[in-house]
Amino acid sequence: MTADLAVVGAGPAGLAAAATAARLGLRVTLLDAAERPGGQIHRHPAGGPVPRAARRLTRRLPYAPGGRAGTSAPGRAGAPRASAASRDRDRVTYLPGHHVWTVARDGDTWLLHAVAGVDEEPAVVRARAVLLATGAHERQLPFPGWTLPGVVGAGGAQAMLKGGLALPGRRVVVAGSGPLLLAVATTLAAAGARVPALVEAADYTAYARHAAALARNPAKLVQGALHGGALLGRGTRLLTRHAVTAAHGTARVEAVTVTGLDADWRPVPGTGRRIPCDALAVGHGLVPQLELATGLGCATRRTPDGTPALEVDAGQRTSVPGVWAAGETCGVGGAELAETEGEIAALSVTGRTSAALARRRARLRAFADAMAAAHRPGPGWTDWLDGTTEVCRCEEVTAATIREAVDGLGARDARSVKLLTRAGMGWCQGRVCGPAVARLAGHDPAPDRRPLSCPVPLSQLAQPPGAER
């Protein structure tokens, strides 16, 4: 069967797109790497209900009541009567646990190749159009001690809590940069963790420069204020223009050093202080996940925080005909923007437009750009590395080795550093160290090129083209 539209990613953008496209009469196949829909933002435990904010989106999925994943049979029995929602559901084939490793053109259609399920089975989906809503992952800037157990991504800590009801420790410092940190600290505190400090490298006064964009987005400001209020009552110190510049411990993190930063994020000597903790949740904003798109040759642009994102037109079309994109892949901007873009993309696939949605997108995008500019990492952060800091966690490549490749061996970008040091050549393929390595080479990161977007068993690669779903 050939789907009218294949949507990759079941976060807010992908869900909104799939629901809208189904409403418009398209047969949609929705592939998602996760076991349950909602993306990172609407993570929820198995067996638990879909979060309220995501229910409107998942209503149109062929998805069993109670939030259990994996029942993806289209036209399932038990639908009480043919409501609009159930009719739309019949048009959506939802494939959770499907990690698409490449999208390939095949004549007039697209083939999406996926590694499926716990047993890493092959799956192939054929579709007339493709919508990439692959989201983002966290940007990490290394510091001495960041490989210690107990140092976790800020978004990761939140994901583990939302999806797995698990905390990395009892006393958790939250650090890095970006609006996500407030949400993470609040979630951790609400779950019973102590958050002794929230350490933000940027300065919230930077928002003042973008007052107009902020003022047009009152809902976001209220959200921020609520986060702040909930934390203040729990004894969390808010330290702006500070960074965790070292984590200490042997088998796990026992304390962190927090240091004041100048406007370029350079640590100010003599300002360090130690904060005891048993975990650190750290992240410096989000990076769009682009490899499926760049593999197809989709054009990119640079967002105000220096990160590459997909270039799309008013209808969310990428530069490659037949390929649309929505959500964080087009520039990090949050769930509301992602949903809006997902809807616009689905309308656009069927040749429709919506002026109201376009206005909402413009307003939210301006806000996202303001946030990105305010939290753009300053170039001075590399001063907090010491030579022995492992920048590439997979291949254990130190800052000194990378600097030697740049200063002594002629590496001028992340790719040539990789070739000369193996930084970025390991399991994660540079997803974690990429932005840091690019900065050490003196540049903003280039768009990622990863022809395989996840590991694929050779036995699966070796199979002749087989049955499609």
Partner 1 sequence: MSDVPDAVIVGAGVVGAACAYYASRAGLTVTVVDRGSVAAGTTGAGEGNLLVSDKEAGPELDLALLSTRLWRELAETLPPEIEYERKGGLVVAPDGAALTALRDFARGQAAAGVETHEIPADRLGDLEPHLAPGLAGGFLYPQDAQVQPAMAAAQLLRAARADVRLGQEVTGVLTDRRGAVRGVRTPRGDLHAPAVVNATGTWGAALAELAGVKLPVRPRRGFVLVTEPLPPGLVRHKVYAADYIADVASGSADLQSSAVVEGTPAGTVLIGATRERVGFDRTLSTEALRRLAAQATALFPVLSGVRAIRAYHGFRPYLPDHLPAIGADPRVPGLYHACGHEGAGIGLAPATGLLVAAALRGERPPLDTGPLRPDRFDDTEGDAW
Partner 2 sequence: MRSRTPRATPAPFTFTFDGRRVTALPGQSVAAALWCAGILAWRTTRHGGAPRGAFCAIGTCFDCLATVNGRPNRRACLLPARPGDTVTTQQGTGHDR
Nearer to partner 2, 116 or 213 (CB): 116
CA distance 32 to 29: 10
Q: Which is nearer to partner 1, 186 or 421 (CB)?
A: 421
396 near 423, Cβ under 8 Å? no
Tell me whether residue 7 or residue 213 sits nearer to partner 2 (CB atom): 7
# residues near partner 1 by CB under 8 A: 38
Considering the complex, what minimum distance in angstroms separates the CB of residue 411 from partner 2? 21
d(CA 438, CA 460) in angstroms, rounded, equals 33
CB 68 within 8 A of CB 46: yes
| CA angle at 293 for the pair 72 and 90, rounded to the nearest 5° | 20
Nearest to 368 by CA among 347, 343, 340: 340
**Measured distance CA(155)–CA(136) in Å, rounded:** 11
Note whether 55 binds partner 2 by CB under 8 A: yes
Q: Which does 40 bind (CB under 5 to 8 A by kind): partner 2, partner 1, none?
A: partner 2
Report the C-alpha gap between 310 and 82 in whole angstroms: 39
The interface with partner 1 within residues 78-137 (CB under 8 A) comprises 102, 104-105, 111, 113, 120
List C-alpha distances in Å: 94 to 36, 64, 214, 280, 453.
10, 11, 36, 36, 20
250 forms part of the interface with partner 1 (CB under 8 A): no
Amino acid letter, 22: A
- The answer to the question of residue 429 lying near partner 1 (CB under 8 A) is yes
Is 206 one of the binding residues for partner 1 (CB under 8 A)? no
- By the rule CB under 8 A, 155 interacts with partner 2: yes
Per CB under 8 A, contacts with partner 2 among 99-118 are 118
Q: Does 237 bind partner 1 (CB under 8 A)?
A: no
Q: Which is nearer to partner 2, 123 or 344 (CB)?
A: 123
CA distance 29 to 92: 6
d(CA 284, CA 271): 21
Both tokens of 324, joined, read 């649309």
Stretch of 60-68, 126-134, 282-290, 422-430 contacting partner 1, by CB under 8 A: 422-430
Residues 259, 114: contact at Cβ < 8 Å? Answer: no
Closest CB 394 distance from partner 1, rounded Å: 9
Site string for partner 1, 2-41 (x = CB under 8 A): ----------------------------------------
Q: Which is nearer to partner 2, 25 or 49 (CB)?
A: 49
User: How many other C-beta atoms can be found within 10 angstroms of the C-beta atom of residue 412?
Assistant: 12
Burial 212-229 (b: 16+ CB within 10 A, else e): ebbeebeebeeebeebbe
Residue 166 touching partner 2 (CB under 8 A): yes
Residue with smaller CB distance to partner 2, 228 or 249: 249
x/- letters, 446..465, toward partner 1 (CB under 8 A)? ----xxx--xxxxx-xxxx-
Q: Which of 422, 444, 446, 468 binds partner 1 (CB under 8 A)?
A: 422
| Candidate residues 128, 237, 393, 450; the one interacting with partner 2 per rule CB under 8 A | 393
160 touching partner 2, by CB under 8 A: yes
String marking each residue 426-445 x if it binds partner 2 according to CB under 8 A: xxx--xx-------------
Is residue 258 within 8 A of residue 243, CB to CB? The reply is: yes
Q: How far apart are CA 318 and CA 321, in angstroms?
A: 7
Residue 69 tokens read as: 């994943």
152 binds, among partner 1, partner 2, none (CB under 5 to 8 A by kind): partner 2
Contacted by 222, from partner 2, partner 1, none: CB < 5 to 8 Å by type: none
Part of the chain binding partner 2 (CB under 8 A), chosen from 23-31, 212-220, 290-298, 392-400: 392-400
d(CA 355, CA 56): 22
Q: Given candidates 1, 25, 66, 276, which one binds partner 2 under the rule CB under 8 A?
A: 66
How far apart are alpha carbons 210 and 222 in whole angstroms?
17
- Interface ranges with partner 2 (CB under 8 A): 33-36, 40, 45-50, 55, 58-59, 61, 63, 65-67, 69, 118, 137-138, 147, 149-153, 155-157, 159-160, 163-168, 251-252, 393-396, 426-428, 431-432, 455
